[in-house]
Amino acid sequence: MQAMVEHVDDVTVVVLPGVSLDASNAKEFKRGMTSLLNTQSKVVFDLQQVQFVDSSGLGGLLSCLRQLTAVGGELKLCGMAKSVRDLFALVRMDRIFDIFSTQADAIVAFQEKGQ
Amino acid sequence: MVNTPRYRAATALRDVVSQFIDELGQSTEALAHCTATAIAYLDATSIQWLTVQDGCICCHQRTNQPSCLAGTRLGSRHCEIIEARYEGRSLGSVIVCCDSSQSPALAALRQIVQTVVRRVELERENASLLVELAGSWESLEAVYELSSDMRILQDPADLLDRITEKAASIHAGLGAILWLEDNGQLVPMATKNIPPVKTRPIGEGLIAQVVAERAAIILNSRAQIISVPRLEPELHQAVSLAIIPVATRQGVLGVLEVWQEGGESEFDSRMLRLLEALALQAAMVIENDRLHHAALESERLRQEVQIGSDIQQILLLGQPPEDIPDIEVAALTIPSQRIDGDFYEFVKHHERCLDVIVGDVMGKGIPAALLGAATKSHFLRAIGRLGSDSVPGKLAEPTAIVSAVAAAVTKQLIDLESFVTLCYARIDLEKYQLDLVDCGHTRTIHLDRELGTCVFLRGDNLPLGVLEGESYSQISVLLHPGDVLLFYSDGVTEARDPSGKAFGDDSLAELVQANGHFSPKQLIEVVRTVVTTFSQPAAVADDLTCVAIKIGGAPKCLQITHTELELSSDLTELVQVRHFVDGLRWLVRDLSMSEKRFSELALAVHEAICNIIIHAYRRQSGQRIRLEADVCMQQVTVRIYDWGEAFDPTSIEPPGFDGSRESGFGVYIIAHSVDEVHHSRDAQGTNCISLLKRLG
């Protein structure tokens, strides 16, 4: 499954495909993002379509975050369903990730930083 | 002593004659004088003039042989002889001398003589009746005295001695023995005026006859006595004897034997009456004593039963704990006629773990009860000792505890030729597991609420006290909320109905299955009622002992919707799990579970299955995973079964929350997404993780 990638100014927005990001596809998703994360420095993951994230999915997202920040980039998340937000809160990942309600908010956050 | 007129039982004819003469004289005096009749009494030796008339030649002659005998006339006088007879014997003759043979006095006098004879006869009879009465009075007096003695003297031996003394003193020179008959032997209870005698067989003489026929024998002639074959040795010199049975309604207890060796008195009806009264008294004394002993024995037995019952209550039976939230315990004992060796004890380790020990000592009565109490105390000691030896926080295994107790008691049990069957059960609510060490005990009944089955659990260890050096194994069974366990003694299953049919363990299992939804207290009440009704009207032969345990955390509701799913260990199958969970969501739609809460449950289920696939089955595909879910008013429970490697949740380190690690969240998520998590693994290698989410 291919993620939809958009560019808004210098921000790359990835709309994650599929209903769930879990043990069945987390690794695959990560692999698919590797090249993008190597080349882009401002990335937004839009999870508007994702209904379900499990710990593997979370691990995958974390891995993306680390890969990006290792090369000086930044990752923001948006469009998370309530249950996904609750999961992040449960494992305190809401302090690690920058989470925004909408895509627009995430993009604005990049721009406000004046980067 | 009361003063009574006493009449001699004299039978000498002389007295009769003199009485006759007196009476005759008195009765004829007036008549004789009026009619100028002379009356004299004549016997073989002499003549006695009662009325004398002047002008009567006979009177004048006053010879011993008056010539007017035989009706001869002497001068103008007429003489007549009237014979007087008394009891067939001649009392002599009465001579009547009057003017003529036509004298009216003659007829009258004849009449008078007969009348006087008759009167004398009646008086004699009267006198002898009075003698009899005196005899009876003597008997009454003797009885009265003895009754007074009985009130004062407590010892039956003393009373029997008094009785025999009285028997011997009714006449001088009497010997007396009071014998008791006991299984063909005569035992002397008291003797008077003779050298001591010993216990001897009853023999075939007079005493045996008296006992057999229950009738007295009286012999008053020496000739008769010496002609008796196999005569009792003490009677060989007797000239008269009386042997009276000492008997009650129930039968002959012995005899009172009395005899005389010199002198001339005979045993007459008066003496017989007295001896009979004494014999009756003796019978009453003996019977009374026996009843007294029987009452004492019965009291002793009652006390033994009471002591036994107290031992039972205090030492043998433990107190069911009432403070363990999810383990409900009730116990029942119905004691039998004699106490048994049933015992039980409860050891609460902590809120989630209870040990139950149920046992039965072979044998009955106080010895069995004491062995049971000793065995129980060994268990408590072993638990304490092994508990302090082991790693803190880790309990000693049931097999270790039973082995320790067996090492301590087996030799003693073998020496006492007894053994103990028992069941050591550990109920662990951390694992929702039952570990059971069964040593020859009745099979434990397990009502499995999940599967709806009712099965017998049994191990194959020998009872304690059979062989030294035995090792003990335990079986493990998964428990579920709502499950019921029933431990019982064989007094329950071997209770018999009037036709001899045993109650049986199948009937008991049926009872549990039918009544398992009640509380344990109600369940054992049902068992009590059914078994006592079954064995009526007889009382139960062995103690009935029963311990019922219900596992909690149970859905209190009766309506449970149950769904299942089988899948194989592929990550691609996770979508099936999502469908399953969607199905659950639909099932709870009418209930008050919030979307948030349901999502948390769904997440936990998902994570659990991922763990199974990745860790338990190490990503090996095609392995079996089974899901079950129960939805009821209060909660949703999802159980996931796998047959892979054992998983120890305590071995997983907590995840890092700083983003430095990408894995290790699964267990944490599960634990924090549902209200209760239980892991268990049974002896067949079935792993089960159970997730419970309450509705609100």
Q: Is residue B301 one of the residues assigned to a domain?
A: no
Tens of pLDDT, residue by residue over B210-266, are 999 999 999 998 888 889 998 999 999 899 999 999 998 888 999 999 999 887 778
Q: Is residue B308 one of the residues assigned to a domain?
A: no
As a whole number of angstroms, the distance between CA B276 and CA B256 comes to 9
**Whether residues B499 and B567 fall in one domain:** no
Q: Which residue's structure tokens are 């039963």?
A: B305
Q: Which residues does chain B have within 8 Å of residue A22's beta carbon, measured at their own beta carbons?
A: 574, 606, 610
* Distance in Å, alpha carbon of A113 to nearest chain B alpha carbon: 23
**Whether residues B523 and B565 fall in one domain:** no
**Whether residues B31 and B70 fall in one domain:** yes
Q: Which residues does chain B have within 8 Å of residue A18's beta carbon, measured at their own beta carbons?
A: none
Domain count, chain B: 4
B649 preceded by a cis bond (ω within 30 of 0):
no
| Confidence (pLDDT) at B355 | 94
Going through B443-602 in order, the beta strands assigned E by DSSP cover: 444-448, 453-457, 475-478, 484-488, 544-551, 561-568
Instruction: Pick the last residue of a domain from B521, B551, B581.
Output: B551
Question: DSSP state, B69?
Answer: G
**Whether residues B378 and B513 fall in one domain:** yes
Which residues of chain B are at the A interface, by a Cβ-Cβ cutoff of 8 Å?
Answer: 571-572, 574-575, 578, 595-596, 599-600, 602-603, 606-607, 610, 613-614, 655, 657-659, 661-663, 665-666, 668-669, 672-673
**Whether residues B599 and B545 fall in one domain:** no
What's the CA dihedral at B398, B399, B402, B403 to 10 degrees?
-150
Question: DSSP state, B184?
Answer: T
| Confidence (pLDDT) at B1 | 24
As a whole number of angstroms, the distance between CA A64 and CA A37 comes to 7
Question: DSSP state, B70?
Answer: G
Nearest of B534, B615, B528 to residue B569 by alpha carbon: B615
As a whole number of angstroms, the distance between CA B681 and CA B479 comes to 11
Instruction: Pick the last residue of a domain from B551, B573, B594.
Output: B551
Q: Is residue B531 one of the residues assigned to a domain?
A: yes
As a whole number of angstroms, the distance between CA B472 and CA B439 comes to 8
Q: Is residue B481 one of the residues assigned to a domain?
A: yes
Q: Is residue B3 one of the residues assigned to a domain?
A: no
* Distance in Å, alpha carbon of B433 to nearest chain A alpha carbon: 30
Cβ atoms B484, B512 nearer than 8 A: yes
Of A54, A86, A90, the CB nearest to B606: A54
Percent of chain A with pLDDT over 90: 50
| Confidence (pLDDT) at B331 | 93
Q: Is residue B307 one of the residues assigned to a domain?
A: no
User: In terms of residue numbers, what domain contains B251?
Assistant: 153-291
Residue type, B638: V
Q: Which residues does chain A have within 8 Å of residue B666's beta carbon, measured at their own beta carbons?
A: 54-55
Q: Which residues does chain B have within 8 Å of residue A23's beta carbon, measured at their own beta carbons?
A: 571, 574, 610, 613-614
Of B572, B574, B607, the CB nearest to A55: B607
Question: DSSP state, B244?
Answer: E
Cα R_g (chain B), whole angstroms: 53
Chain-chain contact of B613 with A23 (C-beta, under 8 angstroms): yes
**Whether residues B594 and B651 fall in one domain:** yes
Which of A20, A28, A33, A54 is the best mutation test for B, with the most CBs of B within 10 A? A54
* Residues with Cβ within 8 Å of residue B126, at least 6 apart in sequence: none
Instruction: Give the CATH number, domain containing residue B79.
Output: 3.30.450
Residue segments in chain B with a per-residue pLDDT below the cut of 50: 1-11, 70, 555-556
Of A54, A83, A92, the CB nearest to B607: A54
| Confidence (pLDDT) at B273 | 85
As a whole number of angstroms, the distance between CA B588 and CA B594 comes to 9
pLDDT at residue A114 above 60? Answer: no
**Whether residues B324 and B448 fall in one domain:** yes
**Whether residues B620 and B665 fall in one domain:** yes
Of B574, B600, B665, the CB nearest to A55: B665
Cβ atoms B267, B242 nearer than 8 A: yes
As a whole number of angstroms, the distance between CA B86 and CA B115 comes to 11
- Cα first-last separation, chain B: 102
**Whether residues B381 and B520 fall in one domain:** yes
| Confidence (pLDDT) at B24 | 85
**Whether residues B338 and B450 fall in one domain:** yes
Tokens, residue B696: 């609100």
Question: DSSP state, B317?
Answer: B
Tokens, residue A28: 């695959």
Burial call B511-539: b when 16+ CB within 10 Å, e when fewer: bbeebbeeebeebbbebbebbeebbeeee
Instruction: Pick the last residue of a domain from B513, B529, B551.
Output: B551
The mean pLDDT of A24-50, rounded to a whole number, is 91
Q: Is residue B42 one of the residues assigned to a domain?
A: yes
Which of B585, B595, B600, B662 is the best mutation test for A, with the most CBs of A within 10 A? B662
Instruction: Give the CATH number, domain containing residue B278.
Output: 3.30.450.40
Question: DSSP state, A1?
Answer: -
Can you say whether the dihedral through the CA atoms of B575, B578, B579, B580 is positive or negative?
positive
Chain-chain contact of A63 with B673 (C-beta, under 8 angstroms): no
Give all domains of chain A, ordered by start, each with its CATH number: 4-105 (3.30.750.24)
* Distance in Å, alpha carbon of A21 to nearest chain B alpha carbon: 11
Cα B420 to chain center, whole Å? Answer: 27
Residue type, B285: V
Assign 3-class secondary structure to B351-379.
CCEEEEEEEEECCCHHHHHHHHHHHHHHH
**Whether residues B115 and B214 fall in one domain:** no
Of B574, B657, B673, the CB nearest to A22: B574
| Confidence (pLDDT) at B391 | 67
Can you say whether the dihedral through the CA atoms of B41, B46, B49, B54 is positive or negative?
positive
**Whether residues B538 and B569 fall in one domain:** no
Q: Is residue B148 one of the residues assigned to a domain?
A: no
The upper half-sphere exposure of residue A48, i.e. CA atoms within 13 Å in the direction of its Cβ, equals 11
Question: DSSP state, A48?
Answer: T
Cβ atoms B443, B458 nearer than 8 A: yes
* Distance in Å, alpha carbon of B641 to nearest chain A alpha carbon: 19
Q: Which residues does chain A have within 8 Å of residue B595's beta carbon, measured at their own beta carbons?
A: 82-83
Of A54, A65, A66, the CB nearest to B603: A54
Tens of pLDDT, residue by residue over B444-471, are 999 988 777 889 999 889 999 888 888 8
- CA angle B38/B40/B46 to nearest 5° reads 150
Q: Is the pTM of this model over 0.80?
A: no
Nearest of B229, B247, B238, B94 to residue B176 by alpha carbon: B238
Contact A65/B at CB under 8 A: yes
| Confidence (pLDDT) at B58 | 63
